[in-house]
A and B are shown apart, each in its own frame.
Chain A
Amino acid sequence: MASIPLLTITIFLPLLGVLAIMGNRGNGGLAFASNARWVALWTSLVTLGLALTLWGNFNPETSDFQFQDKLQWMPVLNVSYHVGLDGISLPFVLLSALLIPICILASWTAIQTRVAEFMVTFLVLETLLIGLFSSLDFILFYLFFEGVLIPMFLIIGIWGGPNRIYAAFKFFLYTFLGSVFMLLAILYVYFEVGGSSIPLALTTFFDPQVQTWLWLAFFASFAVKIPMFPFHTWLPDAHVEAPTAGSVILAGILLKMGGYGLIRFSIPMFPEASAYFTPMIFMLSIIAIIYTSLVALVQVDMKKLIAYSSIAHMGFVTLGIFTIDAQGMQGAVTQMVSHGLISSALFLCVGVVYDRIHSRQISDYGGLVHRMPRYAVFFMLFILASLGLPGTSGFVGEFLVLIGTYQVSTWAAALATISMVFGAAYGLWLYRRVVFGIMVHPKLLSIPDLNWREKIVFTPLLAGILILGIYPMPLLNLMGASLSHIIDQYNIAMDPEAEGIIDKKKSLEIALYMPRFSSFGGPAHRGSPSVTYKNMLVDLAAPVPTRILEIRSVNE
């Protein structure tokens, strides 16, 4: 496998589909549109196949980055094209690869204008998302992270609902504002580390005082993306106005970018700051869970209701991440994956009836079970999964998070548990109002049930939700080693008994410290330190006191 750059191929394969669609500039007629759909579908399916191959060849025993590809990109800046996967990023790559074909299938008939452009934006989005989760270079990461904004802006703005322009601008500017702070922090890290390599940065020690600022800068970006409580206002607008597929991507993957960033960067790079800010995160998460659940209860728009429920579910994710405990973090990642499946499915459910009736108001529906029994079954299973019924993936994620939280803070766990009741309330009430009851609206009398395409769309999501709910071990094993590596690193950084290790780390750093800022007139510093400690291996198998910290310095 080493000879084939499998990950790189997976990342850039969708762009081939883009070229195929763009190259096929037909007369713009129906055949052309259908052609674009099929090309996009097949490209994304092949990408999914490649992503599954990655999974098949992935070794979950180690926390190292696998399938690494590294190429010189901008030697002047010491920035390279460097990608690789570990147990944390692989689930998200799989999720992205799964959801894109589903989105394309779901928009098969719903999108009738500018079909080729729509498919192109989704394929570009797929490249950006897979690239984002697998990049091991900060500049590359930022490129993908921000690049996502362009297709998303266009998706909301071109194919969105009546208030789409406001939503698109709000989405773009809000997330852009958050991200620029991260860019500054990335540049600071770049100067500290002497390059933009993420693996190198993950093993670099940052001064606790600086950590606070860097943590906040990264947090500004991730909190908007997740979105956490006071930064969530863009989400309902964007979700409501986006086309169904756009909502699916937003809820399914874009929200996970923030959670992924917190696990990947904030905790390993800034452990002291993470510990310092944990109470704040807990408070914001609890507020998010309770407040947005209550807000969801009073919504009259189905999409808005699901959007608010997303914020509540992501509250569990942040809660779980900052327990910095094996169960809590596993729960957080599981919750993200599960939410990616469940909320996507729920948005698709709304999309199914929206395509038929062209209304998202709950009051326009009722009694759908009489005309759409199969739809009612799917919808029910998804709603139950959303409120965390045992046997579905929603339960696994929330349960693990609550176990982790309980060990850290009983109060937080208690409050979060209570709020699950609200979750059941808005979910079941929504279901009752839409599916049960009497059919009062004459329009609904002739509504057709799910067709073959919609069933195909729902089946993999349902299968994923149930498999993860009944036997989550494949996913938990996948991320186990990587998460425990992060937790161990955190504990080493925070443990007063391990202080000596940190001091050693620090003194070594001072010894190897290269002038980071070039001075005027002096020899120009090219950003690449000639000396660097390349590997810091933590022996994970050994019990804590005997853990050996090896620091090797390598002359480049």
Chain B
Amino acid sequence: MINFYAPDFKLIIPELILVTISLGLLIAGAFREKDSSASFRIYGRIAILSLILALFILVFQGLSGAQWVTFQGQVIQDDAIYFAKILILAGSGAVLAISLPSMVNEHLDSFEYSPLILLATVGMMLMVEANDFMVLFVGMEMQGLCLYILAALNKTEEKSSEAALKYFILGALSTCLYLYGVSLIYGFSGSTNFEILESVVRMESAGGLSMGIFLGLTFIMAALSFKVSAVPFHMWTPDVYQGCPTPITAFIAATPKIAAMVIFLRIMIKPCMLLYGEWQLVIVFISFASMVLGAFAALRQTDIKRLLAYSAIGQMGYVLMGIAAGNDEGIQAVFVYLTLYLVMIIGIFGCLMCLRGKGQMGVQNIEDLSGISKLHPKIALSLAIFMFSLAGVPPLAGFFAKLYVLKAALSAGLFSLAIAGVLTSVVAAYYYLKIVKVMYFDNVPEFPGASYGQTVAISIEMKIVLNLCAIIIFLFFVFPNPVLEMAQRAAFIFLR
């Protein structure tokens, strides 16, 4: 079943394609004398095409239940990782597609954008397929550094620089925590490899595990909580979401969360499953705290991106509920939730990027959406669908995501966590509904600004992605099985 230790480049063709094309784009951009929005669009489209190509190759490769460990045990490929990589590739491609017009609109059309996104995508793919703490570190830093640069792309804007700096410093702090944790684990288990760690844990768990591994694991959990913006390591999220240009926020909000959450799940379930009793309480706590903070802190926000940041914290709390369950249902729940969350978040940011708020910037305040349903019924309808879905109202997709995590929590006997989950979902429903209210119940302000309710030049790929997102979320209940079955396979491979 497991083909060990043979470097197998076939399995990383998608990553190789992306790296090659991103380097190509960088060189082309550097050698071009003048940067224009036309060339920016071309770079963007090439990047989208390369992501689609990588996705196709990945899908055609198909793994069908096998597990491959390759590159001297550094990299692992199985159904779960396959699923995560599909999400990452599709997510990055979709974000790139919806963000190009908005980047041009905000005069951020420098050529580095597309290659950086490609490199970050490769970093995330490396993260999820890592079978070794050091490979994970390389992947995490690769995507992290790209994201820091992207966050600082708007050099002239004060808030953007502030956000980038915060993101960088706190990200560096989380890296420190991570490395310290890894060094402890290395010191006490003798290896950074997941499989060796697993066997060490298995051998020693009978006679009491040494404190060092626990301590290292705790540091790693803290670092990963950082990446998924779970309480109490969430502080950077609202500021970064608010400060970054909307397209960058969309990217930060979408795929990096998926990658971090999947690897979080894998570290907890794969090498450390026998320590379930030890780490479960920690995850239960951060899940609970994230849900509560996400629900209550967002209530009074007026900035829509800040609101979405708190909403993301809350939503990650729900995903963590799946990890806390730690069983078959829990793993399925994590994958189902992440898939649907990705679609929703891309849809929401896509809708926001279609519209122009005050001046050239995208929509900033919730009030900027007042009465938008009369001016742009389609955008308003999609946004309303996403909001109801995030609130977890059936028959929209978000409900099934919540159903899965609640089911997982109940199956693991985490009744109080499940009750906290449903209660916070009611609180959170308030602010999701508030956005629907602003769009549908309020009127267009009497003296709107010149750009009020205008859209950016919506490109074809933007339209395709937005329609696709809205349809997936709206009609998920008709065809839920592909996602559910993939999640089932992923969970199966995890627990084997």
- List, in ascending order, chain A residues with CB within 8 A of B484's CB: 74, 76-77
Q: Are A520 and B273 in contact (CB under 8 A)?
A: yes
Known: A76-B485, A149-B393. A169 touches B326 (CB 8 A): no
Please report whether the interface of chain B is mostly helix, strand, loop or mixed according to DSSP. helix
Contact yes or no, A521 B495, CB < 8 A: yes
Give complex CA distance A153, B418 in Å. 26
B429 at the interface (CB under 8 A from A): yes
Q: Is A391 an interface residue (CB 8 A)?
A: no
The 8 Å CB contact of B406, one of A75, A150, A183, is A183
A176: Cβ under 8 A from any B Cβ: yes
* Contact present for A173 and B430 (CB under 8 Å): yes
Q: Which residues of B contact A412 (CB under 8 A)?
A: none
| A156–B413 alpha-carbon span in the complex (Å) | 39
Docked Cα-Cα span, A445 to B387, in Å, equals 48
Partner of B441 from A74, A146, A164, A187 at Cβ < 8 Å: A164
Interface residue B433 (Cβ < 8 Å from any Cβ of A): yes
Is B437 touching A169 in the complex (CB atoms < 8 A)? yes
Size of the chain A interface, CB-CB below 8 angstroms: 39
Q: C-beta contact mask, A46-74 vs B, less than 8 Å → 1, else 0?
A: 00000000000000000000000000011
Which chain B residues numbered 446 to 496 have a C-beta less than 8 Å away from chain A? 477, 480-481, 484-485, 487-488, 491-492, 495
CB neighbours (8 Å) of B419 from chain A are 184
Q: Is A519 an interface residue (CB 8 A)?
A: yes
Smallest CB separation, B239 vs chain A (Å): 29
* A168 close to B (CB within 8 Å): yes
Q: Mark A476-520, 1 if CB is under 8 A from B, else 0.
A: 000000000000000000000000000000000000000001111
A-B CB contacts (within 8 Å), total count = 98
Specify which chain B residues have a CB less than 8 angstroms from the CB of A150 in the assembled complex: 388, 393
Once A153-B433, A165-B441, A180-B423 are accepted as A-B contacts, the answer to whether A518 and B393 lie under 8 Å apart by CB is: no
Alpha-carbon distance A4/B3, docked complex (angstroms): 54
Interface string of B336-363 (1 = CB under 8 A from A): 0000000000000000000000000000
Q: What CA separation (Å) do A146 and B394 show in the bound complex?
A: 6
Contact yes or no, A518 B273, CB < 8 A: no
Say yes or no: is A108 at the interface (Cβ < 8 Å to chain B). Answer: no
User: Please, which residue of chain A has its CB at the minimum distance from the CB of B483?
Assistant: A76
B410→A524 contact, CB < 8 A: no
Known: A187-B407, A518-B327, A521-B495. A157 touches B394 (CB 8 A): no
Contacts of B329 in A (CB 8 A): 518
Whether the Cβ atoms of A157 and B440 lie closer than 8 Å is: yes
CA distance A524 to B399 in the complex (A): 24
Q: Could you tell me if B441 and A158 are in contact, using CB atoms closer than 8 angstroms?
A: yes
Q: Please, how many angstroms separate the alpha-carbon atoms of A63 and B91 in the complex?
A: 51
Q: Is A472 an interface residue (CB 8 A)?
A: no
Tell me, in angstroms, the Cα distance from A530 to B423 when the chains sit together: 35
Indicate whether A447 reaches chain B with its CB closer than 8 angstroms.
no
User: Counting CB contacts under 8 A, is B276 at the interface?
Assistant: yes
For the complex, is A147 an interface residue (Cβ under 8 Å from B)? yes
With the chains together, A164 CA to B388 CA distance in Å? 19
Using an 8 Å CB-CB cutoff, how does the interface string of B306-347 with A read, 1 for contact, 0 for none?
A: 000000000000000000001111001000000000000000
Measured between alpha carbons, how far is A340 from B219 in the docked complex, in Å?
A: 61
Q: Closest Cβ of chain A: how far from B114's Cβ, in Å?
A: 36
Would you call A187 and B426 a contact (CB within 8 A)? no
Given contacts A143-B394, A524-B328, contact A518 B399 (CB under 8 A): no
Decide if the interface of chain A is mainly helix, strand, loop or mixed: helix
Across the interface, name the chain B residue whose C-beta is closest to A74. B480
B328: contacting residue among A168, A181, A518, CB under 8 A = A518
Complex formed: what's the CA distance from A184 to B411 in Å?
11
A172 with B406: CB separation less than 8 A: no
Q: How far is the CB of A81 from chain B (nearest CB, A)?
A: 10
Mark each residue of chain B from 139 to 179: 1 if its CB lies under 8 Å from any CB of chain A, else 0: 00000000000000000000000000000000000000000
Known: A520-B326, A524-B491. A187 touches B440 (CB 8 A): no
Bits for A143-180, please: 1 = Cβ < 8 Å to B, else 0.
10011011001100110000011001100110011001
Q: Is the CB of A146 within 8 A of B410?
A: no
Q: Of residues B276, B394, B430, B481, which shows the largest number of chain A Cβ atoms within 10 Å of its Cβ? A: B394
In the assembly, what is the distance between CA of A164 and CA of B441, in Å?
9
In chain A, what residue has the closest Cβ to B418?
A184
In the bound complex, residues from chain B placing their C-beta under 8 Å from that of A286 are: none
Docked complex Cα distance between A323 and B273 (Å): 52
Would B425 and A180 count as touching, CB distance under 8 A? yes
Most-contacted residue by chain B among A180, A181, A521 (CB, 10 A): A180
Q: Is the CB of A524 within 8 A of B495?
A: yes
Give which listed residue, A75, A158, A184, A520, contacts B410 with CB less than 8 A: A184
Residues of A within 8 A of B273 (CB): 520-521
Q: Note all chain A residues with C-beta closer than 8 A to B485.
A: 76
Interface flag for B395 (CB, 8 Å): yes
**Do B403 and A520 have beta carbons less than 8 Å apart?**
no
Contact (A74, B393) CB under 8 Å given A153-B433, A184-B410, A524-B492: no
What residues on A are CB-neighbors of B440 within 8 Å?
Answer: 154, 157-158
Query: How far, in whole Å, are A191 and B415 apart by their CA atoms in the complex?
Result: 13
New A-B contacts (13) at CB < 8 Å, excluding given A157-B436, A524-B328? A76-B481, A76-B488, A150-B393, A157-B440, A164-B441, A165-B437, A172-B433, A184-B410, A187-B403, A187-B406, A520-B276, A524-B492, A524-B495
27 A-B pairs, CB-CB below 8 angstroms? A74-B481, A76-B488, A139-B403, A143-B477, A146-B393, A147-B394, A150-B388, A153-B436, A157-B437, A157-B440, A158-B441, A172-B433, A173-B430, A173-B433, A176-B393, A187-B403, A187-B418, A188-B410, A191-B411, A517-B327, A517-B412, A518-B327, A518-B329, A520-B276, A520-B326, A524-B491, A525-B328
Q: Which 9 A-B pairs have the closest CB atoms?
A: A180-B422, A143-B394, A524-B328, A76-B484, A157-B441, A146-B394, A177-B426, A143-B395, A518-B328
